[in-house]
Amino acid sequence: MRRHRPVALIAGAALLLGACDEGGPGEQRPPGEVPTPSPSPPATGDGQDDDLPREVPDGEEEAQGGEDGEDDGEGDSPVEWSVSEVATGLEVPWDVIEHDGRVLVTERDRGRLIEIGPGSAGTEVRTFDIDPAGEGGLLGLASDGDALFVHYTGGDGNRVVRLDDVDDGDEIPLVTGIPKGPTHNGGRLAIGPDDLIYIGTGDAGDASLAADPGSLAGKILRVDRDGEVPHDNPYDGSPVYSLGHRNVQGLAFDGEVRLWAAELGPDRDDEINLIEAGADYGWPEVTGAPGVDGLVDAAFVAQPAEASWSGATIPDGSAIPQWDGSLLVTGLRGQQLWRLELDGDRVTGSETLLTGEYGRLRTARVAPDGAIWLLTSNRDGRGSPASNDDRLLRVGP
Protein backbone atom coordinates (compact mmCIF):
# COMPACT_ATOMS: atom_id res chain seq x y z
CA MET A 1 0.00 0.00 0.00
CA ARG A 2 1.36 3.41 -0.93
CA ARG A 3 2.04 5.60 2.05
CA HIS A 4 0.23 8.93 1.84
CA ARG A 5 2.52 11.64 3.07
CA PRO A 6 1.62 15.26 3.84
CA VAL A 7 2.59 17.85 1.28
CA ALA A 8 5.14 20.32 2.59
CA LEU A 9 5.66 23.82 1.24
CA ILE A 10 9.33 24.76 1.12
CA ALA A 11 10.26 27.91 2.96
CA GLY A 12 11.19 30.68 0.56
CA ALA A 13 8.65 29.67 -2.08
CA ALA A 14 6.32 32.48 -1.07
CA LEU A 15 8.04 34.82 -3.51
CA LEU A 16 6.99 32.64 -6.42
CA LEU A 17 3.49 32.04 -5.14
CA GLY A 18 2.97 35.67 -4.32
CA ALA A 19 3.48 36.47 -8.00
CA CYS A 20 0.20 34.70 -8.75
CA ASP A 21 -1.84 38.13 -7.49
CA GLU A 22 2.03 28.08 -13.24
CA GLY A 23 21.12 1.05 -20.19
CA GLY A 24 22.08 4.29 -21.95
CA PRO A 25 20.76 7.57 -23.20
CA GLY A 26 20.31 6.32 -26.74
CA GLU A 27 22.02 7.26 -29.95
CA GLN A 28 22.91 10.93 -30.22
CA ARG A 29 22.00 12.55 -33.53
CA PRO A 30 22.68 15.96 -35.04
CA PRO A 31 20.07 18.55 -34.01
CA GLY A 32 16.80 18.05 -35.81
CA GLU A 33 17.81 14.85 -37.56
CA VAL A 34 15.28 12.03 -37.45
CA PRO A 35 15.78 8.36 -38.24
CA THR A 36 13.87 6.36 -40.82
CA PRO A 37 12.09 3.70 -38.77
CA SER A 38 10.47 0.53 -39.98
CA PRO A 39 6.72 -0.12 -39.67
CA SER A 40 5.63 -0.24 -36.06
CA PRO A 41 5.10 -3.39 -34.00
CA PRO A 42 1.83 -3.97 -32.15
CA ALA A 43 1.28 -1.70 -29.17
CA THR A 44 2.46 -2.96 -25.81
CA GLY A 45 3.03 -0.38 -23.09
CA ASP A 46 4.36 3.16 -23.05
CA GLY A 47 7.88 3.73 -24.21
CA GLN A 48 8.51 4.66 -20.57
CA ASP A 49 7.24 1.28 -19.40
CA ASP A 50 9.36 -1.14 -21.41
CA ASP A 51 11.89 -3.15 -19.47
CA LEU A 52 14.92 -1.19 -20.55
CA PRO A 53 17.61 0.28 -18.29
CA ARG A 54 16.38 3.53 -16.77
CA GLU A 55 19.51 4.66 -14.98
CA VAL A 56 21.41 7.65 -16.25
CA PRO A 57 24.81 6.24 -17.22
CA ASP A 58 28.06 7.50 -15.81
CA GLY A 59 29.90 9.86 -18.06
CA GLU A 60 26.83 11.27 -19.82
CA GLU A 61 27.64 14.71 -21.14
CA GLU A 62 26.10 17.52 -19.12
CA ALA A 63 24.11 20.15 -20.94
CA GLN A 64 25.21 23.78 -20.88
CA GLY A 65 23.47 25.65 -18.11
CA GLY A 66 22.20 23.55 -15.25
CA GLU A 67 21.86 24.54 -11.67
CA ASP A 68 23.57 27.86 -11.08
CA GLY A 69 24.79 27.69 -14.69
CA GLU A 70 24.54 30.10 -17.59
CA ASP A 71 22.74 28.83 -20.66
CA ASP A 72 24.36 29.19 -24.06
CA GLY A 73 21.08 29.61 -25.95
CA GLU A 74 20.62 32.22 -28.64
CA GLY A 75 18.16 34.41 -26.73
CA ASP A 76 18.98 37.99 -25.75
CA SER A 77 20.45 38.81 -22.36
CA PRO A 78 21.17 35.31 -21.08
CA VAL A 79 20.62 34.96 -17.36
CA GLU A 80 21.96 32.48 -14.86
CA TRP A 81 19.36 30.10 -13.54
CA SER A 82 19.00 27.59 -10.76
CA VAL A 83 16.49 25.07 -9.46
CA SER A 84 14.58 25.40 -6.19
CA GLU A 85 11.88 23.32 -4.54
CA VAL A 86 8.45 24.89 -4.25
CA ALA A 87 6.66 21.89 -2.70
CA THR A 88 7.63 18.37 -1.65
CA GLY A 89 5.76 15.26 -0.60
CA LEU A 90 3.34 15.28 -3.53
CA GLU A 91 1.67 11.98 -4.36
CA VAL A 92 2.18 11.21 -8.09
CA PRO A 93 1.49 14.76 -9.35
CA TRP A 94 0.52 15.04 -13.01
CA ASP A 95 -0.16 18.69 -13.83
CA VAL A 96 0.22 22.15 -12.31
CA ILE A 97 -1.42 25.42 -13.26
CA GLU A 98 -2.12 28.89 -11.96
CA HIS A 99 -5.84 29.60 -11.91
CA ASP A 100 -7.49 32.65 -10.38
CA GLY A 101 -4.36 33.45 -8.39
CA ARG A 102 -4.06 29.89 -7.04
CA VAL A 103 -1.41 27.25 -7.75
CA LEU A 104 -3.27 23.98 -8.39
CA VAL A 105 -1.77 20.49 -8.77
CA THR A 106 -3.44 17.21 -9.74
CA GLU A 107 -2.47 14.00 -7.95
CA ARG A 108 -3.07 11.21 -10.45
CA ASP A 109 -3.64 8.15 -8.25
CA ARG A 110 -5.55 9.79 -5.41
CA GLY A 111 -7.78 11.94 -7.62
CA ARG A 112 -7.04 15.02 -5.52
CA LEU A 113 -6.85 18.57 -6.76
CA ILE A 114 -4.66 20.40 -4.26
CA GLU A 115 -3.65 24.01 -3.78
CA ILE A 116 -0.08 25.01 -2.99
CA GLY A 117 0.30 28.28 -1.12
CA PRO A 118 2.51 30.11 1.38
CA GLY A 119 2.27 28.36 4.72
CA SER A 120 0.13 25.63 3.22
CA ALA A 121 0.75 21.91 3.49
CA GLY A 122 -1.02 21.26 0.20
CA THR A 123 -4.68 22.02 0.83
CA GLU A 124 -7.17 19.63 -0.77
CA VAL A 125 -9.55 21.59 -2.99
CA ARG A 126 -11.70 18.71 -4.21
CA THR A 127 -11.52 15.02 -5.12
CA PHE A 128 -12.66 13.47 -8.39
CA ASP A 129 -14.31 10.08 -8.82
CA ILE A 130 -11.49 8.47 -10.77
CA ASP A 131 -10.51 5.04 -12.02
CA PRO A 132 -6.80 5.00 -11.07
CA ALA A 133 -5.92 1.72 -12.79
CA GLY A 134 -2.58 1.77 -14.58
CA GLU A 135 -1.85 5.16 -16.09
CA GLY A 136 -5.38 6.48 -15.57
CA GLY A 137 -6.56 8.90 -12.90
CA LEU A 138 -6.61 12.66 -12.43
CA LEU A 139 -4.53 14.08 -15.26
CA GLY A 140 -4.34 17.40 -17.11
CA LEU A 141 -5.46 20.95 -16.37
CA ALA A 142 -6.13 24.07 -18.43
CA SER A 143 -7.49 27.48 -17.53
CA ASP A 144 -9.04 30.21 -19.66
CA GLY A 145 -8.96 32.64 -16.73
CA ASP A 146 -12.61 32.11 -15.90
CA ALA A 147 -13.00 28.33 -15.71
CA LEU A 148 -10.77 25.38 -14.95
CA PHE A 149 -10.76 22.43 -17.35
CA VAL A 150 -9.87 18.97 -16.03
CA HIS A 151 -9.07 15.68 -17.78
CA TYR A 152 -9.57 12.51 -15.76
CA THR A 153 -10.26 8.79 -16.08
CA GLY A 154 -13.68 7.80 -14.74
CA GLY A 155 -15.69 4.62 -14.68
CA ASP A 156 -17.06 5.20 -18.19
CA GLY A 157 -13.79 6.27 -19.79
CA ASN A 158 -11.65 9.37 -19.98
CA ARG A 159 -13.48 12.66 -19.85
CA VAL A 160 -12.90 16.42 -19.89
CA VAL A 161 -15.02 18.64 -17.64
CA ARG A 162 -15.30 22.35 -16.90
CA LEU A 163 -15.41 23.84 -13.40
CA ASP A 164 -16.80 27.34 -13.18
CA ASP A 165 -16.37 27.14 -9.41
CA VAL A 166 -13.27 25.14 -8.51
CA ASP A 167 -14.21 24.59 -4.89
CA ASP A 168 -17.91 23.75 -4.93
CA GLY A 169 -19.18 23.96 -8.50
CA ASP A 170 -20.63 21.10 -10.50
CA GLU A 171 -18.63 19.33 -13.17
CA ILE A 172 -19.85 20.40 -16.61
CA PRO A 173 -18.99 17.58 -19.06
CA LEU A 174 -17.39 18.70 -22.32
CA VAL A 175 -16.15 15.42 -23.84
CA THR A 176 -16.96 12.01 -22.36
CA GLY A 177 -16.51 8.41 -23.43
CA ILE A 178 -12.90 8.78 -24.52
CA PRO A 179 -11.62 5.16 -24.46
CA LYS A 180 -9.55 4.26 -21.43
CA GLY A 181 -7.09 1.46 -20.74
CA PRO A 182 -4.38 0.45 -18.30
CA THR A 183 -1.99 2.37 -20.57
CA HIS A 184 -2.20 5.23 -23.08
CA ASN A 185 -4.84 7.50 -21.57
CA GLY A 186 -3.33 10.73 -22.91
CA GLY A 187 -4.51 13.47 -20.58
CA ARG A 188 -2.91 16.75 -21.64
CA LEU A 189 -5.03 19.88 -22.20
CA ALA A 190 -4.25 23.24 -23.80
CA ILE A 191 -6.17 26.43 -24.49
CA GLY A 192 -5.43 27.63 -28.01
CA PRO A 193 -5.04 31.23 -29.19
CA ASP A 194 -8.50 30.66 -30.70
CA ASP A 195 -9.85 30.13 -27.15
CA LEU A 196 -10.71 26.52 -27.99
CA ILE A 197 -9.83 23.48 -25.88
CA TYR A 198 -7.27 21.03 -27.31
CA ILE A 199 -7.23 17.54 -25.78
CA GLY A 200 -4.48 14.94 -26.16
CA THR A 201 -5.71 11.33 -26.00
CA GLY A 202 -4.04 7.92 -26.19
CA ASP A 203 -5.00 4.76 -28.05
CA ALA A 204 -6.03 3.09 -24.74
CA GLY A 205 -3.83 0.10 -25.60
CA ASP A 206 -5.74 -0.66 -28.83
CA ALA A 207 -3.52 0.63 -31.64
CA SER A 208 -6.22 0.26 -34.28
CA LEU A 209 -8.30 3.02 -32.65
CA ALA A 210 -5.69 5.68 -33.42
CA ALA A 211 -6.27 5.50 -37.19
CA ASP A 212 -10.07 5.34 -36.89
CA PRO A 213 -11.60 8.81 -37.30
CA GLY A 214 -14.75 7.50 -35.63
CA SER A 215 -12.92 6.89 -32.33
CA LEU A 216 -11.79 9.54 -29.85
CA ALA A 217 -8.73 7.45 -28.91
CA GLY A 218 -5.27 8.25 -30.28
CA LYS A 219 -6.27 11.75 -31.30
CA ILE A 220 -5.98 15.43 -30.63
CA LEU A 221 -9.51 16.73 -30.04
CA ARG A 222 -10.76 20.31 -30.37
CA VAL A 223 -13.93 21.71 -28.79
CA ASP A 224 -15.20 25.00 -27.42
CA ARG A 225 -15.65 25.73 -23.73
CA ASP A 226 -19.13 24.22 -23.82
CA GLY A 227 -17.97 21.02 -25.52
CA GLU A 228 -19.45 22.02 -28.88
CA VAL A 229 -17.60 21.09 -32.08
CA PRO A 230 -16.18 24.12 -33.96
CA HIS A 231 -17.54 24.56 -37.49
CA ASP A 232 -14.05 24.45 -38.99
CA ASN A 233 -12.97 21.12 -37.44
CA PRO A 234 -11.71 18.80 -40.20
CA TYR A 235 -14.38 16.12 -39.61
CA ASP A 236 -17.91 17.48 -39.75
CA GLY A 237 -19.57 17.27 -36.36
CA SER A 238 -16.58 15.52 -34.75
CA PRO A 239 -14.17 16.82 -32.11
CA VAL A 240 -11.31 14.97 -33.88
CA TYR A 241 -8.63 17.47 -34.98
CA SER A 242 -5.77 15.08 -35.85
CA LEU A 243 -5.33 11.31 -35.71
CA GLY A 244 -2.76 8.53 -35.79
CA HIS A 245 -1.34 9.30 -32.34
CA ARG A 246 -0.15 6.64 -29.90
CA ASN A 247 -0.21 8.59 -26.63
CA VAL A 248 -0.17 12.38 -26.68
CA GLN A 249 1.44 13.68 -23.49
CA GLY A 250 2.41 17.28 -24.26
CA LEU A 251 0.71 20.17 -26.08
CA ALA A 252 2.12 23.67 -26.59
CA PHE A 253 1.44 26.60 -28.91
CA ASP A 254 4.28 28.73 -30.28
CA GLY A 255 4.25 32.46 -31.03
CA GLU A 256 3.04 31.83 -34.57
CA VAL A 257 -0.02 29.90 -33.36
CA ARG A 258 1.42 26.54 -34.34
CA LEU A 259 0.53 23.56 -32.15
CA TRP A 260 3.32 21.17 -31.13
CA ALA A 261 2.71 17.80 -29.51
CA ALA A 262 4.97 15.41 -27.60
CA GLU A 263 4.11 11.75 -28.04
CA LEU A 264 5.35 8.47 -26.59
CA GLY A 265 6.50 5.82 -29.06
CA PRO A 266 6.52 2.05 -28.45
CA ASP A 267 10.04 0.69 -27.86
CA ARG A 268 11.45 3.39 -30.18
CA ASP A 269 10.76 6.77 -31.75
CA ASP A 270 9.27 9.18 -29.26
CA GLU A 271 7.93 11.96 -31.46
CA ILE A 272 7.66 15.73 -31.51
CA ASN A 273 4.91 16.56 -34.00
CA LEU A 274 3.77 19.81 -35.58
CA ILE A 275 0.00 19.43 -35.68
CA GLU A 276 -2.07 20.13 -38.79
CA ALA A 277 -5.85 19.92 -38.89
CA GLY A 278 -7.03 16.60 -40.29
CA ALA A 279 -3.54 15.12 -40.56
CA ASP A 280 -2.66 11.47 -39.86
CA TYR A 281 0.55 11.00 -37.84
CA GLY A 282 0.95 7.35 -38.70
CA TRP A 283 0.28 5.20 -35.66
CA PRO A 284 0.05 2.22 -35.74
CA GLU A 285 1.37 1.90 -39.30
CA VAL A 286 4.64 3.75 -38.75
CA THR A 287 6.61 5.69 -36.16
CA GLY A 288 9.10 8.53 -36.58
CA ALA A 289 9.70 9.99 -40.02
CA PRO A 290 9.70 7.27 -42.69
CA GLY A 291 8.34 9.51 -45.45
CA VAL A 292 5.18 7.52 -46.18
CA ASP A 293 2.69 9.26 -48.49
CA GLY A 294 -0.43 10.39 -46.69
CA LEU A 295 1.18 10.30 -43.24
CA VAL A 296 2.90 13.21 -41.52
CA ASP A 297 6.50 12.72 -40.43
CA ALA A 298 7.59 13.65 -36.93
CA ALA A 299 9.47 16.94 -36.70
CA PHE A 300 11.94 15.45 -34.22
CA VAL A 301 12.56 11.96 -32.88
CA ALA A 302 14.44 10.59 -29.87
CA GLN A 303 14.53 7.17 -28.29
CA PRO A 304 12.62 6.21 -25.11
CA ALA A 305 15.72 5.61 -22.98
CA GLU A 306 16.65 9.29 -23.36
CA ALA A 307 13.19 10.77 -23.79
CA SER A 308 9.78 9.22 -22.93
CA TRP A 309 8.43 12.73 -23.35
CA SER A 310 5.57 14.09 -21.29
CA GLY A 311 4.67 17.73 -20.59
CA ALA A 312 5.59 20.54 -22.99
CA THR A 313 5.62 24.33 -22.93
CA ILE A 314 6.99 27.17 -25.07
CA PRO A 315 8.01 30.21 -23.00
CA ASP A 316 7.63 33.74 -24.35
CA GLY A 317 8.89 36.71 -22.37
CA SER A 318 10.02 34.40 -19.60
CA ALA A 319 12.47 34.90 -16.77
CA ILE A 320 15.05 32.91 -18.77
CA PRO A 321 15.11 34.88 -22.03
CA GLN A 322 17.55 32.54 -23.78
CA TRP A 323 14.85 29.86 -23.63
CA ASP A 324 12.10 32.00 -25.14
CA GLY A 325 10.62 30.45 -28.25
CA SER A 326 12.10 27.03 -27.47
CA LEU A 327 9.99 23.94 -26.92
CA LEU A 328 10.67 22.62 -23.41
CA VAL A 329 9.70 18.97 -22.95
CA THR A 330 10.04 16.84 -19.83
CA GLY A 331 11.49 13.33 -19.99
CA LEU A 332 10.23 10.45 -17.86
CA ARG A 333 12.59 7.57 -18.50
CA GLY A 334 15.12 10.07 -19.86
CA GLN A 335 15.03 11.94 -16.53
CA GLN A 336 15.88 15.24 -18.10
CA LEU A 337 14.47 18.45 -19.53
CA TRP A 338 14.78 18.82 -23.29
CA ARG A 339 15.11 22.24 -24.94
CA LEU A 340 14.34 22.12 -28.65
CA GLU A 341 15.14 25.16 -30.78
CA LEU A 342 12.37 26.02 -33.23
CA ASP A 343 12.68 27.89 -36.51
CA GLY A 344 9.28 28.19 -38.13
CA ASP A 345 7.97 24.68 -38.61
CA ARG A 346 11.34 23.01 -37.99
CA VAL A 347 13.30 21.79 -34.99
CA THR A 348 16.82 23.08 -35.62
CA GLY A 349 18.68 22.17 -32.43
CA SER A 350 18.41 20.47 -29.09
CA GLU A 351 20.03 20.21 -25.69
CA THR A 352 19.25 18.28 -22.53
CA LEU A 353 19.30 19.77 -19.04
CA LEU A 354 19.12 18.52 -15.44
CA THR A 355 19.97 14.99 -16.54
CA GLY A 356 19.36 12.57 -13.67
CA GLU A 357 19.27 15.31 -11.05
CA TYR A 358 15.60 15.06 -10.10
CA GLY A 359 14.54 11.72 -11.59
CA ARG A 360 11.51 11.37 -13.83
CA LEU A 361 10.05 14.69 -14.99
CA ARG A 362 6.33 14.77 -15.82
CA THR A 363 5.29 18.34 -16.56
CA ALA A 364 6.75 21.68 -17.62
CA ARG A 365 4.78 24.90 -17.45
CA VAL A 366 5.58 28.62 -17.43
CA ALA A 367 4.82 30.08 -13.99
CA PRO A 368 3.22 33.52 -13.54
CA ASP A 369 6.60 35.08 -12.69
CA GLY A 370 8.15 33.75 -15.92
CA ALA A 371 10.07 30.91 -14.29
CA ILE A 372 9.51 27.31 -15.35
CA TRP A 373 7.62 24.91 -13.13
CA LEU A 374 8.55 21.21 -13.29
CA LEU A 375 6.78 18.27 -11.64
CA THR A 376 8.65 15.08 -10.82
CA SER A 377 7.05 11.64 -11.20
CA ASN A 378 9.16 9.33 -9.07
CA ARG A 379 6.35 7.77 -7.01
CA ASP A 380 4.38 6.42 -9.95
CA GLY A 381 5.82 2.92 -9.57
CA ARG A 382 8.52 3.37 -12.18
CA GLY A 383 10.98 5.66 -10.48
CA SER A 384 13.38 5.62 -7.55
CA PRO A 385 11.87 8.23 -5.22
CA ALA A 386 13.91 10.37 -2.89
CA SER A 387 12.58 10.93 0.61
CA ASN A 388 11.01 14.29 -0.38
CA ASP A 389 9.47 13.16 -3.68
CA ASP A 390 7.40 13.99 -5.51
CA ARG A 391 8.24 17.65 -5.97
CA LEU A 392 7.15 20.86 -7.63
CA LEU A 393 10.34 22.57 -8.81
CA ARG A 394 11.03 26.12 -9.96
CA VAL A 395 13.66 26.78 -12.63
CA GLY A 396 14.53 30.45 -12.87
CA PRO A 397 16.90 33.27 -11.92
Q: What single string gives the DSSP state of each residue in 97-112?
A: EEETTEEEEEETTTTE
Q: Is residue 118 part of a domain?
A: yes
Range scoring the smallest mean pLDDT among 47-51, 55-59, 118-122, 125-129: 55-59
**Calpha distance 18→102 (Å, rounded):** 10
Query: Residue range 53-76: average pLDDT?
Result: 39
Beta bridge partners of 394: 84, 373
Q: Is the pTM above the cut of 0.75?
A: yes
Q: Is residue 243 part of a domain?
A: yes
Q: Is the pLDDT of residue 355 over 90?
A: yes
Confidence at 3, pLDDT banded by 50, 70, 90: very low
**Calpha distance 247→29 (Å, rounded):** 24
Residue 213 burial (CB < 10 Å; 0-12/13-18/19+)? middle
Query: Residue range 216-229: average pLDDT?
Result: 98
Q: Is residue 22 part of a domain?
A: no
Residue 311 · residue 330 · CB < 8 Å: yes
Q: Is residue 33 part of a domain?
A: no
**Calpha distance 150→171 (Å, rounded):** 9
pLDDT tens digits, 137-195: 999 999 999 999 999 999 999 999 999 999 999 999 999 999 999 999 999 999 999 99
147 is in which domain, residue-wise? 46-396
Q: Is residue 14 part of a domain?
A: no
Q: Is residue 1 part of a domain?
A: no
Cis peptide upstream of residue 167 (ω within 30 degrees of 0)? no
**Residue 246 DSSP class:** S
Q: Is the pLDDT of residue 290 over 50?
A: yes
Q: Is the pLDDT of residue 17 over 90?
A: no
Confidence at 23, pLDDT banded by 50, 70, 90: very low
SS3 label, residue 266: coil
Mean pLDDT of the chain: 86
**What is residue 117's predicted lDDT score, i.e. its pLDDT?**
86
Count structural domains, the chain. 1
**Calpha distance 144→255 (Å, rounded):** 18
**What is residue 76's predicted lDDT score, i.e. its pLDDT?**
60
pLDDT tens digits, 98-123: 999 999 999 999 999 999 987 666 89
Q: Is the pLDDT of residue 221 over 70?
A: yes
Q: Is the pLDDT of residue 278 over 80?
A: yes
For the chain, what is the total number of helices (H) and then of strands (E)? 1, 26
Beta bridge partners of 154: 157
Q: Is residue 343 part of a domain?
A: yes
Q: CATH no. for residue 192?
A: 2.120.10.30
Q: Is residue 336 part of a domain?
A: yes
Sign of the four-CA dihedral 385, 388, 392, 396: negative
Percentage of the chain exceeding pLDDT 70: 80
Query: Residue range 346-352: average pLDDT?
Result: 98
